[in-house]
Amino acid sequence: MAVLLFATMPDTPRLHLPIRPRRLRRNASIRALVRETHLAPAHLIQPVFITDSGDSEPIPSLPGIERVPLRQLAGHCRMLRDLGLGGVALFPRTDPMLKTEDGREALNPETLVLRATRIIKAATPEFPVFNDIALDPYTTHGHDGVLNEAGTDVDNDATVEILARMAVLHAAAGADFVSPSDMMDGRVGAIRAALDTAGHSATGIMAYSAKYASAYYGPFRDAVGSSRATGAPPISKATYQLDPANRLEALREVAMDEAEGADIVMVKPAGPCLDIIRETRSVTRLPVAAYQVSGEYAQIHAAARLGWLDLQSTRDESLLAIRRAGADLILSYFAQFWAADQAHGTPPFST
């Protein structure tokens, strides 16, 4: 009763507070004036799945995302460019008939992703293209490299040799950045040397430097066709991707990639690794990228579909958190949708 009377008394005592943080939150204009973190379309890179099929192919686990056929690719990339996005990251869905144990299709000069790269650079030469360098789209076993003789693990050095040759092919096709996502030891240095020797010193390397063996990649593996059959256990990549429990190991990997010649370092996945993004930003002068992966995108959509979250505001907050953690660039399946909303005048964040 005493509390109720105090709350309704006309002469309620006022606190004498020289510091009132709420002064900077009084209205939308003031909040915008002091906002610390900003997101623009140029900070975002759209992952694009490509197919040799004649038609686009919806990906059920990634609502709104489709595999883009080559005949639609130029127009699709013009649209993304016109939204002001920072570029595209290409991922092929390789015909299963072309997959082998050793992933030799990755070294075919006419493989799908290289034809796609040439199409994009002919249509939008100024639009940055980031090409994935790893063997998982091309191997029957779904690993990111070739297996050792016993077939029990990925052979690091044999894989690096293939990745270096692969990177040269991608640079020759016009990729602005090659993006080794395999997590093999020494691959950045080997790729940099191979690019320079082949006359592609202007081609950059965006290294997947701190890539964790995460459970959040499932929809991506569906999209590129590297997932196991229904009911089969997921592929374990724990001998080459980072243990999600480790922090210092990630920073060591970042330092190694920087020393070997990476131009951009990346943390993946983004949402579960905001602490790693923050620490990476603190220890390197290079641009820091973060990949908001397929599982992050899918879980936000799933919760929104059930009415548990608002799709747009949750999407926007998730992207803002990645930027606030220190990411200069964000690869996200939300990129095109967020940028389209800005183009239509939708406020980027709650005001």
- Residues with a catalytic annotation lie at 211, 268
Provide the sign of the torsion angle of the four alpha carbons 347, 348, 350, 351, taken in this order.
negative
Q: Which residues contact 200 (CB under 8 A, 6 or more apart)?
A: 168, 171, 172
Residues 203, 195: Cα–Cα separation, whole Å: 7
Which residues in 85-94 are b (16+ Cβ under 10 Å) and which e?
Answer: bbbbbbbbbb
Output the CA angle 245-251-257, nearest 5 degrees. 125
Best CA proximity match to 124, nearest among 86, 84, 81: 81
CB contact at 8 A, 210 and 267: yes
No. of helices (H) and no. of strands (E), the chain: 12, 10
- How many residues in the chain? 351
Distances (CA, A) of 53 to 71, 96, 112: 9, 13, 11
CB contact at 8 A, 196 and 260: no
The single-letter DSSP state of residue 39 is -
